[in-house]
Amino acid sequence: MSDAARQSDVLIVGSGAAGLTAALNLAERFRVTVLAKGALNEGSTAWAQGGIAAVLEPGDTFEHHVEDTMVAGAGLNDRDIVECVVEGAPAAIERLTRLGVPFATEGNALHLTREGGHSHRRIVHVADATGWAVQEALQRAAEAHPNITLVPDQVAIDLATSRHEQRYSGAGNVWGVYAVDRGTGRVNLYTARATILATGGAGRTYLFSTAPRGATGDGIAMAWRAGARVSNMEMMQFHPTCLYHLEVKNFLITEAVRGEGGRLINPTTGKRFMSYYDAERMELAPRDVVARAIDAEIKRYGLDYVHLDISHQPADFIRGHFPNIYDKLLGLGIDMTTQPIPVVPAQHYTCGGIIIDRDGRTDLPGLYAAGECTESGLHGANRLASNSLLECFVFGEACAGHIAAHWDTLPPVPVIRPWDESRVTDSDEEVVIKQNWTEIRRFMWNYVGIVRTTKRLERAQHRIQMLTEEVADYYGHFRVTPDLIELRNLLQTAELIVRSALHRHESRGLHYTLDYPETLAEAVDTVLVP
């Protein structure tokens, strides 16, 4: 890796929708380095199925989209931010189309599908593999740009801050990151005048999650350790319909299946059950409502799963709308044109995160953030389906705009100390990492899941306290590895989730606790200060 890539104008950690959007918006004027911790397309973006929400239908309005977002978010959203993102959607879709994303069409218009919580058809999509097409188009454009250097296999450990300056200035700036190279095992220092965290979510804190392996909350944990506030970490979204299969653990069945008529059925009674939980919206109620309904049916009848059935639709219609899901299920012996699909809820999206303002600025000078690692005010207590890719585009661009407009005020990078490995050795007990990783994910699933109680949360907190000492001791003595970095972040993120959940004495949106079942009159963010 060249020195130029290690000393760029702007450093972006993350090569998904948020990171690459920011990079493409900066590259005309600045030298940009983009890091990914594995392959460039291994984030959640490439896994997105349903699509991107945008008001494009004649009968639809921005007000409807804003209202649907606020209803799903149980009033915890920031209306100004919701309006700004919703109004930015049509332009974002246009830019993606120009980049070559082959959105599905119907006649001369884009085909719009429907998802839970949306009062209108407004989901722009590429069949049932929207994220893959978006990732490919953004990556192709970034790879072709001479000012963008994409560096895979660099696992950021921590932010380089004023604390790491050779001559301490006390200004509190962020100057880049230290990252371990998966190939060499060496720790590299990447510096820049501005750093953008676009590291995605923290889904892998839970045993069952639709998110990819790398969703370990790294950016949230790094920002927190460096002194940035985080918010609403208790708002973990569980997707109602993840495939239940003994070998395939995290395959999502898109909400668009319900949007196109899919029905949820209790396999014991053979009855459609959503009418008992939300008679008006049925299968298209917001995700928190549907996930809790499935959880309740599973617990009440002692089930392993419920059925999602769309076999009443014509076979050609199903194959045409859901070609990838159809193929995947057929490979597992399930023909969705004639059979119901066994499904369970699984963690899906991290609504909370690093607090950012409208320009993507965090609390720390020189540090910006965008996408799933942030809490921008858009999602509130529960994200409306297909609003998150949209958030990545809007805030990726906002960060870039602010950096460009304020470039002259960003101080040049001082001399930063290299990573110090003089007091550590190679680990001789890798089993500790594996054991702790599994333990965290299991107690988070059992104690901090869809339905919570104070007692369960306290149990989780107690486990976290014990593991924190163990992991800190391990981190202090052994050379960092990607697995150790992720374990440390997973644990930190779990701690933030549990602390936030204990803090909220009500049930709202995704946070549902038997000890405080009521929703308070006033919606207040849970803000944690380092």
Which among ligand FAD, ligand SIN, none contacts residue 19 (Cβ within 5 to 8 A by kind)?
ligand FAD
What is the C-alpha to C-alpha distance for residues 211 and 125, in angstroms, rounded to an integer? 19
192 binding ligand FAD? (CB under 6 A): no
Give residue 10's identity as a one-letter amino acid code. Answer: V
Nearer to ligand FAD, 285 or 384 (CB): 384
| Shortest reach from residue 58's CB to ligand SIN, in Å | 24
Nearer to ligand SIN, 253 or 498 (CB): 253
114 binding ligand FAD? (CB under 6 A): no
Exposure string over 355-393, b if 16+ CB within 10 A, otherwise e = bbebebbbbbbbbbbbbbbbbbbbbbbbbbbbbbbbbbb
Nearer to ligand SIN, 60 or 255 (CB): 255
Between strands 306-309 and 263-265, the pairing is: antiparallel
329 binding ligand FAD? (CB under 6 A): no
What is the C-alpha to C-alpha distance for residues 129 and 121, in angstroms, rounded to an integer? 18
Which residue is catalytic, options 287, 361, 504, 508?
287
Nearer to ligand FAD, 156 or 460 (CB): 156
Stretch that binds ligand FAD, among 40-48, 294-302, 309-317, 447-455 (CB under 6 A): 40-48
3-state helix, strand, coil in the chain (%, to 5): 40, 20, 45
Which residues, 6 or more positions from 324, have their beta carbon under 8 angstroms from its beta carbon? 49, 127, 128, 129
284: closest CA among 255, 313, 318, 321?
255
Q: Residue from 36, 137, 187, 290 that binds ligand FAD (CB under 6 A)?
A: 36
Read off the DSSP letter of residue 413.
Answer: P
What is the C-alpha to C-alpha distance for residues 512 and 504, in angstroms, rounded to an integer? 10
Site for ligand FAD in 239-268 (CB under 6 A): 252
428: closest CA among 482, 382, 477?
477
The neighbour count for residue 483, using CB atoms within 10 Å, is 15
113 binding ligand FAD? (CB under 6 A): no
| Shortest reach from residue 119's CB to ligand SIN, in Å | 16
47 binding ligand FAD? (CB under 6 A): yes
Closest residue to bound ligand SIN by CB: 50
| Shortest reach from residue 130's CB to ligand SIN, in Å | 8
What is the C-alpha to C-alpha distance for residues 43 and 494, in angstroms, rounded to an integer? 20
Report yes or no: 157 and 177 within 8 Å, Cβ to Cβ: yes
Which among ligand SIN, ligand FAD, none contacts residue 191 (Cβ within 5 to 8 A by kind)?
none
| Shortest reach from residue 164's CB to ligand FAD, in Å | 17
| Shortest reach from residue 168's CB to ligand FAD, in Å | 25
371 binding ligand FAD? (CB under 6 A): yes
Nearer to ligand FAD, 198 or 318 (CB): 198
Which among ligand SIN, ligand FAD, none contacts residue 38 (Cβ within 5 to 8 A by kind)?
ligand FAD
Nearer to ligand FAD, 488 or 511 (CB): 488
Nearer to ligand SIN, 111 or 402 (CB): 111
User: Among this protein's residues, is 358 annotated catalytic?
Assistant: no
| Shortest reach from residue 330's CB to ligand FAD, in Å | 19
Q: Which residues bind ligand SIN (CB under 6 A)?
A: 49-50, 254-256, 385-386, 388
**Which residue's structure tokens are 């319900």?**
258
Read off the DSSP letter of residue 284.
Answer: G
Give residue 458's identity as a one-letter amino acid code. Answer: E
Q: What is the DSSP string of 424-489?
A: -B--S-THHHHHHHHHHHHHHHHHSSSSB-HHHHHHHHHHHHHHHHHHHHHHHHB---HHHHHHHH
Residues within the interface to ligand FAD (CB under 6 A): 13-19, 35-38, 42-45, 47-52, 130-131, 154-156, 179, 198-200, 210-211, 214, 218, 252, 349, 371-372, 386-389, 392
* Catalytically annotated residues: 287
